[in-house]
Amino acid sequence: MSDPVSLVDITDFAESLAREAGELIQQEREQNTLRTDYKKQTELVTHADVMADEFITGAIRQRFPDHRILSEETMPDLSQAEELETPLWIVDPIDGTVNYAYGHPQVAVSIAYAEKGRVQAGVVHAPFPAEIFRATRGRGATLNGSSITHSGATVPRESLFATGFPYTKDDLEPLVKRLDAMIHQCRDLRRIGSAALDICWVACGRLDIYYENVSPWDFAAARLIALEAGATAGHFSDVPDGYPADLWGRDILISAPEIWEPIRAILRSASGYE
């Protein structure tokens, strides 16, 4: 590391960046007509996404010039997650861009810090409801400074789950099969529109289960927050050999501990994995 700072200092720094980025995206939505575009012809992006990304990554580069950055808008090179020798920051300036563009409050700034493929610090800031979720590995998780824990759910039938769907709709059949199985064996579904907040809501007990295929910037910070809140995090398919599980987003599953294995079995069966 270029600076002799503790993981708590790292988390504090991430929180300060998330708060400032949150103010920026709030001001952009309140004061301006949002400028929007599309990447890969289907995925919505706003000018505020790029502005917040450039602000966060610029501040990280200035303080930690030797660190690498994986960010959704300006540096979305997923191979960064495979190079484990240098500390890595994982940034999503606006998780829930469609929500943001439509004036919905479920929007988050997500910043994670990883060493050797393991996420050590994570902050998820929801600026519109003014909520800060944060965790430092081994120190628990908090929401606005107060400790949080998972729901303690014990029965899938009585559990509330969240998931999401990709921007491209070419291969929805496996997702629909999973959704059908989960709807029939759980209490109900919530579609929030921000993976980071889905996971943080599992961490604080507003949801019992979350599963989806997502990119590292969507979940890296929130996954640590959920783990530090006592939730169980893993995958319902195999992680490739040599790839850090903390950053592998395919078939991710996060839930209250007692229902994790039963839910994993439901999802594996619906996916044809067994």
Q: Which residues are annotated as a binding site for Mg(2+)?
A: 72, 92, 94-95, 218
**What is the residue-wise DSSP string for the chain?**
--S---HHHHHHHHHHHHHHHHHHHHHHHHHSPPPEEEETTTEEEEHHHHHHHHHHHHHHHHH-TTSEEEETTTB--GGGGG--SS-EEEEEEEE-HHHHHHT-S--EEEEEEEETTEEEEEEEEETTTTEEEEEETTS-EEETTEE--------GGG-EEE----S--TT-HHHHHHHHHHHHHSSEEE--S-HHHHHHHHHTTS-SEEEE---HHHHHHHHHHHHHTT-EEEESSPPPTTS-GGG--TTEEEE-HHHHHHHHHHHHHHHT--
Annotated binding site: 72, 92, 94-95, 218
